[in-house]
Structures are given as structure tokens and as C-alpha cells.
A and B are shown apart, each in its own frame.
Chain A
Amino acid sequence: MAEKTLMKGNEALAEGAVRAGCRFFAGYPITPQNEVPEYMSWRLPQEGGFFIQAESEVAAINMIFGAASTGIRVMTSSSSPGISLKQEGISYCAGADLPIFYANVVRGGPGLGNIAPAQSDYFQSTRGGGHGDYRVFVMAPNSATEMANFPKRCYDVAFKYRVPSMILADGLLGQMMEPVEFDFEPIDPGSIPAPDWALGVATGRNKRVVKSYDLRPGRLEDWNIERQKKFEMIEAEECDWDGEGLEDCELLVSSYGSCSRISKSAVKLARDSGLAVGLLRPITLYPFPKKIFRDMARKVKNILVVEMSLGQYVEDVQLSVEGAVPIHFHGRPGGGIPTAEEIFEIVKKIMRK
């Protein structure tokens, strides 16, 4: 299993989900995520699973909603406009406490936008996305190997807390090929007992209902407050991040996902020319690793945020740092991809001041 396989990010994502026990996928074609449904269409039947090409993204998320109500591991994927369409269904899953997993292979927006890599769905992903008070567990991989291994972590969190979970990728991660290494043994979903809320054959037990509504006065408020405790637990337990050169840096560069790799190259260029620059990369976007940002804000002189959108991710950095240190921003919208050299130039400018 330690053997490396050259895979496209999208294929790694699909294979990772299958190995993590996914046995139902419904999706609809949209670039740049088409390899996911294509892969699932032949791969899932091999494991006794089911694939459906739905008539729309809306139908796909509702097929997922139905299948998830039976307690099995399910998945859908799409790209930006399609994820917008799925939001009502995701909100229902959150409201009905159903663990689901989905991936957004983001493209340039708004509207039809383009099909180039972008990070402009950050707000949508990290703030819930649909209507109502809820959050989604969001992981941001930055390599094909992480695309392959994060679905398992998403399922683990989704089932532990009964929340929706997602991977926020982009066209770059979906389309690029890299050697992939899985860090877990394939999971046999047949070995996992059905949860005590799952619908299905009800012999000898009371009926169960999966629903997101409660019209009795005051009850929905209580329900939301109860659910909020779950999110507080997730914030306390499930944060993850990665960093480099944090011990001695004066300037902290921060990016997530594919952009964090470009920033990492820029940080190396800076280090090679003797500049004290470090990199902080959140791996979970919700929950956001606020603490490490607060800690770093006390140590560094400046923070530079680089993202492939016009000021979405930077807001979470600002909220975490609470004005303790100047935050500089470099954003490339609409499918623009920064280069390491471009970021290095900005780094030099900030350090010269």
C-alpha cells in the first residue's frame, strides 16, 4: 500500500472516498470535476456500491440526502455553480443531522464564470452555504495525496458529530496528476454497524423519522442551540493546520489549498535570499485554526495573505488576529493563479518597509 500511484486529483478524491467506505454517489457533469463521477461510475459497482448520474445537481444532493438517511457513507461532488444548486439539500442534511460528504472543485465565478482554478467559494463553504444556522466541516487539501486521504477524515468527523462535511478543492488540484500514497487501509462498510438513527428495515423496533422541521413554538430554537454545542465541540477538537518556519519568521505568509503550495515556493525563495519568512496553512477551514493565528500574531511583524479570490479567506485571518498585527493581502480572482515569483516580490516589498 505504500506504493505510489500517479493519479489525477479528482480520481484520487474518488478512490479515497471509495476506500473510506463510500458506497453511493450521485452527481451531474460539470468541469473541472468530471473525473469524479466518471471514476465512480465504474469503481463503485466493483465494491457493490451504487452510482447514479442524476438529472440535476438538485436531484443529486437529494438522492444523497435519501441514501444518507439509511446511515451509509455517501458522496456527491460538483463545481461552483453546481454546489450553489445543492445548498438547499445540504441545509436539509444539516437540519436533519445527516452525515454526508461532498467536494467542491472550485472554478472561477460568479455566474458561469470560467473553468479555471479559483478559491472564490470560501465564504459559501465556511459559513454553511445554505439557509439556516449551521456549519459544514471543511477540509482544504493541497495535493493529490491529501485529496485521497481527506475523504476518510471527513467521514470520521461527519459521523462522529452527524454533520455535513466537505472538501474544498479547485481545478488545479482536481486536474493535476501526482504520485498518490494512501495513509489508511480500505474500510469495509459492511463491518460498520448501522447507526441507531438510520432508516431501513424496522423489524422489532420503533419507527424512525429523519426530518429538519419542528413547528412547535420554541422547539426549533432549542434544537438550534443544541446543535450549536456540536459545532463548539468541532471547533475545540477538529482544527488542523500545517506550518513552516514559524519559529523565527518576521513575516508570516498564509494561504490554503493549492495556493498554499505556491506560497510555499515563494517562502522558499525568500528563505534562500535570507529573509525570515514563514508559512501557515490551515488544513481545516471550518473549524478555523484561530489559536495558532493568534499565537503567531504576537510573534511576527506582518502577515501576508494570498488567495485565489478577492478577500474571503483573509477575513478569517483578520477575525483570528483581531488587529494585533498588520495584514497585507494579495488576491487573484476569476481563475487567476499567482506565481511564486509574484508572491516573492510582494514579500520583498513588505520586508523592505
Chain B
Amino acid sequence: MKKVFEKTNGLTDVPMRYCPGCGHGIAHRLVGEVIEELGVRERTIAVVPVGCSVFLDEYVNCDGIQGPHGRGPAIATGIKRTHPECIVFSYQGDGDLASIGMAETIHSAARSENITIVFINNAIYGMTGGQMAPTTLIGMRATTCPSGRSIEVNGYPIRMCELLATLPGASYLARTSVDKPANIIKTKKAIKKAFETQIQKKGFSMVEILSPCPTDWGMTPRVALKRVQNEMIPYFPLGVYRDWESRGKKEDDVKVAIEA
């Protein structure tokens, strides 16, 4: 029989414990495949966050370090500066990257630290049980905004790609989604490009992946995917926000990305 799919060597055989319909599993697989395809598995170090993906170190088939909530980019910085031969990526959720770890995110981009961030944006705190995230949409319910996020009380959700695109040090920024096969393929391309950015020593790269959280959204997996398409993507437009390869004038880059 012809083999049509094989599990990547970039992942271990440990069964993942994510909820049905969660986007983490797909993102993990894509990262594993990219690491394998680029031939960097034996020199890659995963920086593992606090959050649902805290077990990433068990799933990914490379060295890993699990650190304090939000500090992934700082940990990655310490490793990369002293071991430029290693490929270092930090895997983070929205609370980790855009709330508690905002300073580390911005400053590692400002320094154009030669690291890669895989940022899972599911607009909610998953592991702690569905509290409001910095990317929770207006009107969206969470356990700490039970009648929905209000602008008056909670302000606006943060668009990280747009924010980082203002920094000259951000060399590659893309926002993708895992809501449908076509977008999953695009996500993999973006992750690959981000890793290549690092391999070619071009500086800071980040892929923001819009991802469903059926459990904490209180939805079936199918309905959760609809929310990604109908509510998240309109607020968080997909696309490439910075690309060192096609970069013209930096200011123009930013403008085009935001208008798109």
C-alpha cells in the first residue's frame, strides 16, 4: 500500500493531551515538520511557555526548556546569544506573549534578536479555564468578563503583528490561521519562512496563528472554526506584515500591511 502520510520525526510519539478541536496539535505538527524538513532538528531548542502548551517539551523531538510565564523571548535570547549555532524558537500563547510577556516580546523584536516566535492566538486563557486574554474580542465572553469584553472596562484587543511591524528590528511577521486546510498550508509556509529567517541570520521572526479553543469558548469544534473565520480574522487580518526579503521602505511596509 502506498504511504500517503507519515508522522514527522520532528515530534515524539507521546500522545498529545489537547482538547478536541484545539489548534495547538496542528501548530505542533507544522513546527515539527518544518524542523525536520529544514534538517535542523538536532540543533533546535524549543522554549516552552506557561499555558496549555506547557507540555510542548514532551511532544517536540528536540531539546527544550520550560520557563516562567511570558519570558520565552528572554530565555531564547540567552540561549541564542551564547549558542548562535542553535535554532531557537519560543512557542507562546496570547496571555504569555501579549500580556505578561509584552515587554520581552517587544524588546526582543527591537533588538532584532535572531530567534523565532510561534504565537498561538486563541483569544482566551486556556489552561487556567477561560479568562479574558489581551486578544479577547469585543463582546466575547470569558470567565473574567462574563457578560462579554467591554471597551469601557477592558479596552481593546491587541493586534501584535501590527504593533511589532512598527519596529525596524522585526524582520519577518506573518499572521495565519488553522481554520481550514488552505490556511494550514499557508501557516506551514510562514513557519518555514520564519525559521529560514533565523537560519539566514536575518533577525527576529514571528508567526501569529489564529487558533480555536472550543472548550473555553463553550463551542463545538465546528462552531469554533466558524468563529475564527467570522470574528477573529476580520479583527486580526491574515497576511505578511514584515518580510526582510521584499522590504522596501520600512514605513511603507507598515502602512501597506495595516491597510491590507
Contacts and interface: CB of A to CB of B under 8 A. Distances in A.
Interface residues of B, number: 33
Interface centre among B58, B62, B83 (most CB of A within 10 A): B83
A351 interface: no
Contacts of A58: 71, 74, 103-104
Interface stretch (A1-9, A111-119, A208-216, A253-261): A208-216
A336 interface: no
Contacts of B64: 199, 207-211
Given A56-B103, A202-B42, A62 B61 contact: no
B48 interface: yes
Contacts of A72: 82
Given A200-B63, A202-B63, A211-B65, A55 B79 contact: no
Given A24-B82, A26-B78, A70-B82, A211 B66 contact: yes
Contacts of A281: none
B107 interface: yes
Interface in B33-65: 42-43, 45, 47-48, 54, 57-58, 61-65
Contact of B74 (A62, A200, A210, A212): A62
A74 B81 CA distance: 12
B104 A70 contact: no
A201 interface: yes
Contacts of A23: 82
Contacts of B79: 66-67, 69-70, 199
B26 interface: no
Contacts of A200: 43, 45, 63, 83, 86
A332 B254 CA distance: 57
A48 to B, nearest CB: 10
A67 B88 CA distance: 12
B16 to A, nearest CB: 15
B13 interface: no
Interface string A199-231: 111111001111111000000000000000000
B77 interface: yes
A92 interface: yes
A213 B75 contact: no
B161 interface: no
Interface string A4-41: 00000000000000000001101000000000000000
B81 A52 contact: yes
B27 to A, nearest CB: 19
Contact of B78 (A24, A204, A209): A24
B42 A203 contact: yes
Contact of A50 (B12, B58, B65, B81): B81
A92 B67 contact: yes
Interface in A182-209: 199-204, 207-209
Interface in A58-101: 58-60, 62-70, 72, 74, 88-89, 92, 96
Contacts of B199: none
Contacts of A88: 68
Interface string A142-182: 00000000000000000000000000000000000000000
Q: How large is the interface on A (under 10, 10 to 19, 20 to 34, 35 or more residues)?
A: 35 or more
Contacts, number: 124
A26 to B, nearest CB: 7
Contact of A64 (B58, B66, B78): B78
Interface string B67-106: 1100100111111011101100000000000000001101
A26 B107 CA distance: 14
B45 to A, nearest CB: 5
A217 to B, nearest CB: 15
Contacts of A62: 67-68, 71, 74-75, 78, 104
Nearest to A55: B107
A60 B54 CA distance: 22
A54 interface: yes
Interface string B17-41: 0000000000000000000000000
A54 B63 contact: no
A249 to B, nearest CB: 48
B57 A55 contact: no
Contacts of A67: 78-79, 81-82
Contacts of B63: 199-200, 202, 207-209
A199 B103 contact: no
Nearest to A208: B63
A316 to B, nearest CB: 29
Interface centre among B42, B45, B104 (most CB of A within 10 A): B45
Contacts of B76: 66
A63 B66 contact: no
B82 A55 contact: no
A269 to B, nearest CB: 49
Interface centre among A23, A50, A204 (most CB of B within 10 A): A50
A82 B85 CA distance: 32
Contacts of B65: 65-66, 69, 96, 199, 209-211
B43 A202 contact: yes
A328 B12 CA distance: 62
6 contacts: A50-B82, A63-B75, A66-B74, A67-B78, A200-B63, A211-B57
Given A59-B71, A210-B65, 13 more contacts: A55-B104, A55-B107, A59-B107, A60-B74, A63-B74, A65-B71, A66-B74, A66-B78, A68-B78, A199-B63, A201-B43, A209-B65, A210-B64
